[in-house]
């Protein structure tokens, strides 16, 4: 059986082993694949694995041997799952592998903004502490998270992990979720979306990207937020109207934003958030810890093995 990995570099840039996957079949691994190369590279393969390389109906029609598409991520919008279902192609994803790493980055951004860690580190290295007449200095407000209201949009595994950390900090946790009040622990309060934007000090996004959630953070909702509020996005870039967010930050109607994802990745040089005031950006690294990628590789092999045994797991187009 032929297995092809179209874009393996991001998940495994060389610090992990492909051996468990290679033991399952004749395996060809590409670091990256251009859209024009997908058909030629996947030709003859029964199992095709992709991270961010698109596989749409047009490619499926030219790859009759392809019976299984494994997405090396939780989100699976890179595959036309409806076209795959119509053609009898099994599509799987990798759920929950990066839950703790993503929740950790939420608070890396939040703590950096609250304590201005990056800024004060830079000032120390410029010599400002050495020349300070006092034993300490700070030149920006320092925020305490205890007692602050955090609103979490989407209470899946990552949203829930973020909520647990927030509870540990003594924060008041509110969630916009399809879960009922009875399904939530007493420390998490269900809230409507607009009320969340009006009342919460921090909003953290953890929902999938759908037609209903695209630009869930838009100009109207940003205007509802406190001028002292903070927005965190470690989910999907298009959840946020980036121009509206840049305007809110530059106009001072929002204190700060910490983002690990953008609408286009890598971003274009003219993305308004690259120059926006108090906008802290990381290059889609929340999922990239060694521990998370080790889990990804393990689940990837479990998915392929289950498919080969005729009992596929983590199917998203069943």
215 is catalytic: no
Q: How far apart are CA 207 and CA 220, in angstroms?
A: 19
Domains 2-95+290-308 and 99-281 share a fold: yes
- Each residue's pLDDT tens digit, 179-204: 998 999 999 999 999 999 999 999 99
- Its pTM stands at 0.93
pLDDT of residue 133: 96
Three-state secondary-structure class, residue 215: coil
Q: How far apart are CA 52 and CA 7, in angstroms?
A: 7
Say whether the peptide bond before residue 266 is cis (omega within 30 degrees of 0). yes
Q: In what order do the strands lie in the sheet with 2-5?
A: 26-29, 2-5, 47-50, 68-71, 90-92
Which one from 86, 144, 187, 265 is the annotated catalytic residue?
A: 265
Mean of pLDDT values over 245-260: 98
Mean of pLDDT values over 144-148: 98
- Each residue's pLDDT tens digit, 262-277: 999 999 999 999 999 9
pLDDT of residue 223: 98
Beta bridge partners of 258: 232, 280
236 is catalytic: yes
pLDDT of residue 19: 98
- Each residue's pLDDT tens digit, 91-140: 999 999 999 999 999 999 999 999 999 999 999 999 999 999 999 999 99
Taking CA 29 as the corner, what is the angle to CA 27 and CA 32, rounded to the nearest 5 degrees?
A: 155
Q: How far apart are CA 10 and CA 8, in angstroms?
A: 6
Three-state secondary-structure class, residue 111: helix
- Each residue's pLDDT tens digit, 42-86: 999 999 999 999 999 999 999 999 999 999 999 898 999 999 999
- Is 90 exceeded by the pLDDT of residue 15? yes
- Each residue's pLDDT tens digit, 214-245: 999 999 999 999 999 999 999 999 999 999 99
**Could you state, in order of their start, the residue ranges of all structural domains in the chain?**
2-95+290-308, 99-281
Contact 314, 74 (CB under 8 A): no
Q: How far is CA 85 from CA 2, 110, 150, 261, in A?
A: 21, 41, 39, 29
The total of other beta-carbon atoms located within 10 Å of residue 117's CB is 12
pLDDT of residue 25: 97
- Sorted by sequence, the CB contacts under 8 Å of residue 65 that are 6+ apart come out as 2, 43, 44, 45, 46
The total of other beta-carbon atoms located within 10 Å of residue 170's CB is 11
Q: Where are the beta strands (DSSP E) in 52-146?
A: 68-71, 90-92
- Is 90 exceeded by the pLDDT of residue 318? no
pLDDT of residue 107: 98
Which has the minimum average pLDDT: 149-153, 209-213, 226-230? 209-213
Alpha helices in 142-187 (DSSP H): 157-168
Mean of pLDDT values over 140-162: 97
Q: How far apart are CA 239 and CA 217, in angstroms?
A: 6
What is the band of 157 on the pLDDT scale with cuts at 50, 70, 90?
Answer: very high
Contact 314, 93 (CB under 8 A): yes
284 is catalytic: yes
Q: What is the mean pLDDT of the chain?
A: 97
Q: How far apart are CA 265 and CA 209, in angstroms?
A: 15
Q: How far apart are CA 159 and CA 58, in angstroms?
A: 35
The total of other beta-carbon atoms located within 10 Å of residue 145's CB is 17
Alpha helices in 72-116 (DSSP H): 81-86, 99-115
Which one from 174, 206, 221, 236 is the annotated catalytic residue?
A: 236
42 HSE (CA, 13 A, CB side): 32
CATH topology for 2-95+290-308 is: Rossmann fold (3.40.50)
- Is 90 exceeded by the pLDDT of residue 286? yes
Tokens of 139: 């030149």
Which one from 87, 198, 284, 294 is the annotated catalytic residue?
A: 284
Q: What is the dihedral of CA 276, 279, 280, 285, to 10 degrees?
A: -80
Looking at domain 99-281, which CATH architecture does it have?
Answer: 3-Layer(aba) Sandwich (3.40)
- Is 90 exceeded by the pLDDT of residue 33? yes
Three-state secondary-structure class, residue 49: strand
Q: How far apart are CA 249 and CA 47, in angstroms?
A: 46
């Amino acid at each position: 059986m032929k297995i092809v990995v179209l874009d393996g570099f991001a998940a495994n840039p060389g610090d992990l082993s492909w051996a468990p996957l290679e033991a399952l079949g004749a395996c060809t691994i590409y670091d990256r694949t251009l859209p024009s190369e997908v058909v030629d590279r996947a030709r003859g393969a029964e199992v095709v694995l992709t991270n961010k390389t698109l596989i749409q109906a047009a490619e499926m029609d030219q790859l009759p041997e392809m019976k299984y598409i494994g997405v090396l991520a939780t989100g699976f919008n890179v595959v036309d799952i409806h076209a795959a279902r119509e053609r009898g192609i099994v599509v799987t994803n990798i759920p929950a592998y990066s839950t703790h790493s993503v929740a950790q980055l939420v608070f890396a951004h939040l703590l950096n903004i609250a304590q201005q860690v990056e800024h004060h580190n830079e000032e120390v290295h410029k010599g400002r502490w050495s020349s300070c007449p006092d034993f300490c200095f700070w030149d920006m407000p320092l925020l305490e998270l205890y007692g602050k209201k955090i609103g979490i949009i989407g209470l899946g595994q990552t949203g829930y992990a973020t909520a647990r950390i927030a509870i540990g900090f003594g924060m008041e946790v509110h969630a916009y979720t399809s879960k009922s009040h009875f399904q939530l622990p007493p420390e998490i309060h269900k809230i409507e979306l607009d009320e969340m934007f009006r009342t919460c000090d921090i909003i953290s996004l953890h929902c999938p990207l759908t037609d209903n959630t695209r630009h869930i953070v838009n100009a109207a909702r940003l205007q509802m937020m406190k001028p002292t509020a903070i927005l965190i996005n470690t989910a999907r870039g298009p959840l946020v109207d980036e121009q509206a967010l840049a305007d809110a930050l530059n106009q001072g109607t929002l204190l700060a934003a910490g983002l690990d994802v953008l609408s286009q990745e890598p971003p274009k040089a003219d993305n308004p958030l690259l120059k926006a005031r108090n906008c802290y950006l990381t290059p889609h690294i929340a999922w990239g810890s060694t521990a998370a990628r080790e889990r990804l590789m393990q689940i990837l092999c479990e998915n392929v093995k289950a498919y080969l045994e005729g009992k596929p797991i983590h199917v998203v187009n069943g």
